[in-house]
Every structure is written in C-alpha cells, then in structure tokens.
Amino acid sequence: MTALRIVHGAAALAAAGSLADTLCTGLDDRGVALAFGVLIAVGELTRWSGAQIRQAAPLATAGSLSYALLGADAGRPTQAGPAQVVTVVLAAALLGAVPHIWSGRTPTLDHLARRVLTVGFAAVCFQPLYNKGLFNSWDGPAYALLLVTLLGLTALCDAVLAATLAHSRTRWPFGPLLREELRGLLGIGSAVCATGAVMALGVAVAGLWALPVFCLPLLLTQLSVRRYAAVRATYRQTIASLARATEIAGCTPAGHARRVAALSLAVGRDLGLTEGERTVLEYAALMHDIGQLSLVDPVPAGATAGLPPEEQRRIALLGGAVVRQTGVAAAVAVVVERQADPYREQPVAARIVRAVNAYEEKTRDAGPEGPLRALEELRLGTAGDYAPEVVESLARVLAQPRTWRESAPAERDGRRTALSDPARGWVTHG
C-alpha cells in the first residue's frame, strides 16, 4: 500500500499547491477556463454509472488533456499556467461527480488522483515552455506532432499510474496489469488522445466554438461503446444463466460454477493472461460442468475430479458439444472439452479450470483443514494431473482472498455482471 499512499499524497500536494497558487494570482482567460470547465463537468456527468470499465469518462479526459495543451484561443495566446489547469480540471471533475456521489456511485480517489497527476504532467511539460515563446516557430505538422507526442507520454504516465494503483489494491502482478493498460491505449484511449489534440488545435485556430464540434464524434463513440458494454453484460448474464442449469438440475451444488469462475479468473490474472484470454477462461469456468446434463446417472455431488480419467474426458467432450450448440465462441468449447486431458497437452485456460475445479471439490464440506489438504493433494498430482505453475499460482491467490472473492460488480437490481470486470470502487482508465 506504500505506492498507493505515495500516489494519493502526490496528487493531494499537487491539488493543494495548484489551488493555493490560483487563489493568490486569480484566473487568467476566465472565458476559456469556464468553457473547458463546463466541458469537463459534462464529461463527468455522462460517465458510465454501471459496471466500471475502461475510459469511464472519455469526454472529460479529452477535455482535460486539451486544456492542459492549449496554447491559443482563436490566435490569441492564452496565459493559463499548470496550476490553473489543475485547479480548473479538479473543480470541474468534482462538480460533475456530484450526481454520482448523490446516487451512491462515488468516484474513487484513484480516479481523481490520476486525473490530477496526468493533467498536471501534461500542463507542466507544455505550458511553461509555450508561455516563454519556445514554440512560436513551430507551426503546421511540427506543432501537431508536438501535441501528439506529449499526449502519448501523458498516456504512458497514466498507464503506469493505473497499473500501480491496481497492483496496490489487488496485489495482482504489476507486469501483466501494465501490459493490459498499454493494450487499452490502442482502443478508446487513442481516440481520447486524438480528440484532445484536435480540440487544442481547433480552439487555437477557430476559438471556443471548436469545442462542441470536435466533441461530437467522441460523444457518439462513447454512446456506441456503452451500448456494446450493455450487450456484452447481457451476453455474460446469459452464459451465467446457462451455467446454473446444472445447479437447477441437481447435478452440481449451488454456486459451484461461480466460485470456480471467480477463482479461475484470479489465477488467470496472476499468470498474466490477457483480457481476451480471461474472458474465454471465465466462460469456460462457468460452463465447465455443463456436460453432466447429458448423463443418465448423475455424478454424486457433481464431483468429477475423483472419477476415472476416461469418464472425465467423456463428460468434458459432452460439455464441449453442448457449448458449441449454444453459439458461444469455439475457444470456450475447446477449453471445456480439454479440461480433462493431461495437463501437458492442455491450453493454459483448461489447466486452470481443471486445477481450480478439483480444489473447489476437495474443499467442499472438508472443514477448516480442507484448503491445506486440497492444496497438498494438488501438489502431489503435479506429476501428471495438474500443472505445477497453476497450482502454485492458486496457492498465491488463496493467500490473499480479498483479490478474488466477490469480485464481480453488481448492477442496481442486485445482479452480478462480468466476473472479469474490475471490482466496484476503482476504474482502470479515465
């Protein structure tokens, strides 16, 4: 948690220093500050209020970065320094967050800390040099390239901060978290950076009227991404409902599939699986027992780990056939089909599902000593049944239960959405 305190402390110092400096010197270019403040506040008002996903407030982020790199207003140089930029951005972000706070969807300190530090970084890199006239000879493509370069550096800074904060709160490995953040920059993150640069250039030439014009494409993109996120959440809920069929039929205990999925995802994160790989892992873990619906004689308590290898493979193949008929991605069916193969022949996701399912079955109603005995049995089975790296990763995850238990965010109606989404209370971008 040391890194968490350092980041929050640095953001608090930057915010306090900027506010004090602005109060002492006053606001320059108040019309410009007001226009960007309104844009950022509106962006915060339109941020995602359901499951926390990437770029919760892309419009506010683009507006903040644009203000940090603003050099002129309709050809007239602006005088806003880094302190004023940070003050305006922070005040607008807090104002736009009021409805979310009122409804109980409070933005996290991580979100505000990252916003202050990244905007402050961009403003410090640009505003002092611009105000000294060092960029007066830069025009056309050279000036645009300068803004894009600064935005790229700012995006890298934000990715490092996001990975650091997520690592501090969840103890997931830093390297995979950073790689995931960097991959996220290629999506809507690149659109945010491009919009920020275009708005700064547009206001410099056409004035503040350029703001609503250049914000419209990003706003439409945000609406499209929100619709896609809703469809994806519905799709996951459908898969979760299918997975519950084995529980309703009495083939498996209640909550078994969800526990296996939650723990499998934590192991997948620990092993550095990408977001797409974790999605396949989640779906396969939820549906790993669906083959039992095809059995004439049900397995007692749904415990397949103790069955003969041939019977395990038969049930796995039946499950893969059922998954293929549901229209779920073929990669999910492959994992379900191969969960009973020798681990050296399995994909990583199948190795994880097999080990986690066995652990869950061995600890069921086993008493306080059950987890330790189950791990020991899994370690003894690493000669042929379970992958050693998966078993050790499982042990690391179990040592920190808060990183995986109840990790799925709840919607307002109380239903859970995606297990692989970040936990409520922190966001990955924006």
Among 200, 231, 262, the domain-final residue is: 231
Among 199, 231, 263, the domain-final residue is: 231
Q: Are residues 130 and 202 in the same domain?
A: yes
Among 231, 263, 287, the domain-final residue is: 231
Q: Which pLDDT belongs to residue 56? A: 67
DSSP β-bridge partners for residue 73: 76
198 is written with which tokens? 């275009």
Q: How far apart are CA 299 and CA 252, in angstroms?
A: 9
Q: Report yes or no on 236 lying in a domain.
A: no
- Residue 177 identity: L
**CATH code of the domain covering residue 383:** 1.10.3210.10
pTM over 0.85: no
Q: How far apart are CA 299 and CA 332, in angstroms?
A: 23
8 A C-beta contact, residue 382 and residue 374: no
**Hey, CA dihedral for 85, 87, 90, 95, is it positive or negative?**
negative
Q: How far apart are CA 173 and CA 273, in angstroms?
A: 11
8 A C-beta contact, residue 332 and residue 287: yes
Q: Which pLDDT belongs to residue 412? A: 36
Helix (H) / strand (E) element for 44: namely: helix 30-45
Q: How far apart are CA 199 and CA 219, in angstroms?
A: 13
Q: Report yes or no on 413 lying in a domain.
A: no
Q: Report yes or no on 252 lying in a domain.
A: yes
Q: Are residues 270 and 157 in the same domain?
A: no
Measured in degrees and rounded to the nearest 5, phi and psi for residue 116 equal -65, -45
> Which of 218, 268, 234 lies closest to 397, judged by CA?
268
Q: Report yes or no on 426 lying in a domain.
A: no
Q: How far apart are CA 79 and CA 99, in angstroms?
A: 32
Q: Report yes or no on 62 lying in a domain.
A: yes
Q: Are residues 137 and 275 in the same domain?
A: no
Q: Report yes or no on 394 lying in a domain.
A: yes
Q: Are residues 221 and 250 in the same domain?
A: no
Q: How far apart are CA 347 and CA 356, in angstroms?
A: 15
8 A C-beta contact, residue 352 and residue 264: yes
Q: Are residues 89 and 203 in the same domain?
A: yes
Q: Are residues 279 and 375 in the same domain?
A: yes
Q: How far apart are CA 390 and CA 267, in angstroms?
A: 7
Structural domain including 350 reads 244-403
| HEC string for 74-124 | CCEECCCCHHHHHHHHHHHHHHHCHHHHHCCCCCCHHHHHHHHHHHHHHHH
Q: Report yes or no on 113 lying in a domain.
A: yes
Q: DSSP letters along 197-266, please?
A: HHHHHHHHHH-TTHHHHHHHHHHHHHHHHHHHHHHHHHHHHHHHHHHTHHHHTTSS-TTHHHHHHHHHHH
- Residue 304 identity: T
> Which of 364, 334, 339, 361 lies closest to 350, judged by CA?
339
Q: How far apart are CA 269 and CA 214, in angstroms?
A: 37
Q: How far apart are CA 182 and CA 194, in angstroms?
A: 16
8 A C-beta contact, residue 394 and residue 375: yes
Q: Are residues 128 and 89 in the same domain?
A: yes
- Looking at the 3D structure of the chain, how many domains does it have? 2
Q: Which pLDDT belongs to residue 401? A: 65
Per-residue confidence of the chain (430 residues) as pLDDT tens digits?
Answer: 688 899 999 999 999 999 999 999 988 889 999 999 999 999 888 876 544 445 568 889 999 999 999 988 888 888 888 999 999 999 999 898 888 777 766 557 788 899 999 999 999 999 988 888 887 777 778 888 888 899 999 999 999 999 898 888 877 778 888 888 888 788 778 888 888 889 999 998 888 888 888 888 888 877 887 787 788 888 888 888 888 888 888 888 888 889 999 999 989 988 888 888 898 999 999 998 888 888 877 787 777 877 888 888 888 898 888 888 887 888 999 999 998 888 888 899 999 999 999 999 888 877 778 888 888 888 888 887 888 999 999 998 888 766 555 444 343 334 433 343 333 333 333 4
Q: Which pLDDT belongs to residue 86? A: 94
11 is written with which tokens? 């953001």
Could you tell me which residues come within 8 angstroms of residue 223 by beta carbon, excluding any fewer than 6 positions away? none
